[in-house]
Structure 1
């Protein structure tokens, strides 16, 4: 009898232990994104963010990270992948799906960005006020921007005239419109395609922030980099870190709380701060290589601002045609940037 009782106890303990093991890690989420692991956002934001979530969930959430589009498809398809539930989480460039997030484009307009952290805080507040209905099927974890975008070219750009006729990569429709306003020949493409396009002469350069020059090896591909005077960079792109809504809804309340606690303006600021750190390293690398880093003076920068002004006017008119008060959005974006840059 004693043996039977002991045996039954052992079986019960084993079952409880097995149940505990299942409980200990009961959710696996697939995170899909377009950049290599060594790029700033994966290395300094997405991977540490996932580790933090796993730790705070007590190991019950596991996040599988798939960089460089390893699960298939192309970068412009990421939004649809997460909406459809093909993957659980994505990080992507909003402008890769033109027309899907029109209100976000206010932060892509010329000479809006300050630095990554400040602009990301401002953009998250803007999202909270104006974009809550723009992400059906998604639980938004963070929206953010990068730091000041600039020119990286084979030939030097010392003035507005130097850019005319150059074939330059732009990440989104607003930014390609800006390049067109300068007299360049804009070529839209996702950032992973840039190195090959530059090396094959398809384009003469690109507009990207300093941080992404490192994984793209831009300092080796081009010898010239043009920055602008003042506290506003040439442009920024907008980014989305989101979860499939059904995947989020399926979580128990305590695991939802883990995701919630790691979402919002501080997550946005973390991503922007990572971008700022990457900018410092990217610029230093180009300087150490002996590349030509040009900083346009205030007078020349103002010429570029004047040339880009019609892009803002055209965007406001486009938004009006969509029933959106674009001027009010631009004004609020500027106010939020001022608030977060003090």
Structure 2
């Protein structure tokens, strides 16, 4: 009996200990299926390899089975112009895009992508958001429509890549160009004919003559996605110094995440912003110097000044449309005035 009691006692202790060890070794979160999100980017497959995939791969690895983000490229689940609605409705969980391309119904949509001459360098965008107040305005605007604005960052400058050389403003007249809605609206006063097509169709459209050129990116992107193979010239004058884009999520899905995964996701997005800073900045210079697919052309500064002056008028026209737009334009004016006063290296002349 003594031996039997000892055996039962030890078995009981062992059973409890084993159960306890099992509970400790397998927290509830590990027993559950991972949280799954679907994120669609504005970028096609070749570009996504740089502007988003490294960050998503890193996030999925660091999430350690608790969450998995499935990445989809341009138009893969829904057309780019329907990205906002799909995210708002929960068809997809998150988006990487500019406000303009995804047609978000907010007061700040017009400033996404390339707002003419709002920035000169890529670092201007994160400074405008994090130090000059754009972040708070974007968060407030998207909260009104059930979407979480996670973070904003910069991409490349906006240049024309064309089949025929552009050496003057007159050369732009009648050119059918794939570009962003607001950039197209602005440049139409100089005779540019904006054309909207699915991102994946652009290369073929240039080859078939449906498009005369592209004003969607800088030279790094032209080479990366194949546009440098179908265009012959690259105009060194740009419409804006950096594309402004963001990461967004369906607000309810964002709210469901535990705080540590929200933090991890924000860190992953920040790493994506950082990657693009150096990848585009270095690529723009290197390909101008060493690239062999496109010849560089330039519109003289005194003539291009006409475009820059027109941008000031355009800003005022946008500011007159609403109180929020006026507030954003004032921030742009304040920021650019500060940069000019600061002088080199912030602004040259």
Contact 1:83–1:138 (CA<8 Å) still a contact in 2? yes
So what's the TM-score if we normalise by structure 1?
0.80
Residue 180 (structure 1) aligns with: 188
Pair 1:214-2:223 in alignment: yes
Gaps of 5+ in 2: 1-6, 340-344
The partner residue of 1:48 within 54, 59, 65 is: 54
For 1:307 and 1:252, locate their aligned partners in 2 and report how far apart those are by CA, in whole Å.
48
For 2:331 and 2:16, locate their aligned partners in 1 and report how far apart those are by CA, in whole Å.
68
Pair 1:68-2:74 in alignment: yes
Contact 1:91–1:239 (CA<8 Å) still a contact in 2? yes
3-state DSSP of counterpart to 1:155? coil
* Higher RCO (Cα < 8 Å, 6 or more apart): 1
Pair 1:79-2:79 in alignment: no
What number of residue pairs does the alignment pair up?
A: 327
Residue 128 (structure 1) aligns with: 135
Residue 105 (structure 1) aligns with: 110
For 1:271 and 1:339, locate their aligned partners in 2 and report how far apart those are by CA, in whole Å.
25
Post-superposition, which runs of at least 4 consecutive aligned residues in structure 1 deviate over 6 A? 6-12
For 2:337 and 2:126, locate their aligned partners in 1 and report how far apart those are by CA, in whole Å.
12
| RMSD of Structure 2 on Structure 1 (CA) | 3.3
Mapping 1:1-342, distance limit 5 Å: 22-23=30-31, 26-39=34-47, 42-70=48-76, 72-98=77-103, 100-106=105-111, 108-124=114-130, 125-136=132-143, 137-172=146-181, 174-209=182-217, 210-228=219-237, 233-235=238-240, 236-262=242-268, 268=273, 270-280=275-285, 283=288, 287-289=291-293, 291-317=294-320, 319=321, 322-324=322-324, 326=326, 328-336=327-335, 342=346
Gaps of 5+ in 1: none
For 1:183 and 1:254, locate their aligned partners in 2 and report how far apart those are by CA, in whole Å.
51
Distance 1:283 1:63, change over 3 A: farther
Contact 1:211–1:282 (CA<8 Å) still a contact in 2? yes
For 2:103 and 2:159, locate their aligned partners in 1 and report how far apart those are by CA, in whole Å.
22
- Offset at residue 62 of structure 1 (A): 2.2
So what's the TM-score if we normalise by structure 2?
0.79
Which structure has the greater CA radius of gyration? 2
